[in-house]
């Protein structure tokens, strides 16, 4: 039996992670942020994504971020920008942001309300880029 459920995990994460609103993201104009979409590819295919976002599946995030991992991705080597994580409703992104902070990453936040709130507020979306 578990001793801590997802609600408690989200509560704990929310107490220590920073979030950004859609308005703050749009004001950045892509200058200081790297948007990271954590959703499954089926979600991206079904609903699209925020233009310019990088896709990093939630299950691989910690491996892609860690330079010692054989799965490391160079996109996570930028200390000059802030990584803004998002998922559908900001649950996975809150937990993922906390996980990256636990790994020592300082330049990471998540999108308030997630992709769902982004779309509801009229934020731009696009289809998932196809692999070459």
pLDDT tens figures, 45-60: 999 999 999 999 999 9
Distance CA 13, CA 98 (A): 6
pLDDT given at position 57: 96
For range 34-39, the mean pLDDT = 98
Fold of the CATH domain 10-120: Oxidized Rhodanese; domain 1 (3.40.250)
Under 8 Å between Cβ of 84 and 34: yes
Number of Cβ atoms within 10 Å of the Cβ of 53: 24
- Domain residue ranges in the chain: 10-120
54-113, pLDDT tens digit by residue? 999 999 999 999 999 999 999 999 999 999 999 999 999 999 999 999 999 999 999 999
Q: 82: burial class by Cβ within 10 Å (0-12, 13-18, 19+)?
A: middle
Q: Which residues pair with 109 in a beta bridge?
A: 84
Query: Of 102, 103, 128, 116, whose CA–CA distance to 46 is shortest?
Result: 128
């Amino acid at each position: 039996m578990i001793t801590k459920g997802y609600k408690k995990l989200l509560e704990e994460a929310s107490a220590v992670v920073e979030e950004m609103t859609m308005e703050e993201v749009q004001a950045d104009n892509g200058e200081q942020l790297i948007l990271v979409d954590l959703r499954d590819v089926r979600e991206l295919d079904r609903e699209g994504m925020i233009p310019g976002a990088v896709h990093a599946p939630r299950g691989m995030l910690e491996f892609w971020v860690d330079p010692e991992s054989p799965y490391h991705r160079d996109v996570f080597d930028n200390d000059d920008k802030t990584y803004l994580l998002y998922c559908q409703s900001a649950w996975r992104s809150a937990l993922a942001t906390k996980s990256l902070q636990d790994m020592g990453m300082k330049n990471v936040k998540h999108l308030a309300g997630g992709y769902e709130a982004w779309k509801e507020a009229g934020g731009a979306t696009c289809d998932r880029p196809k692999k070459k």
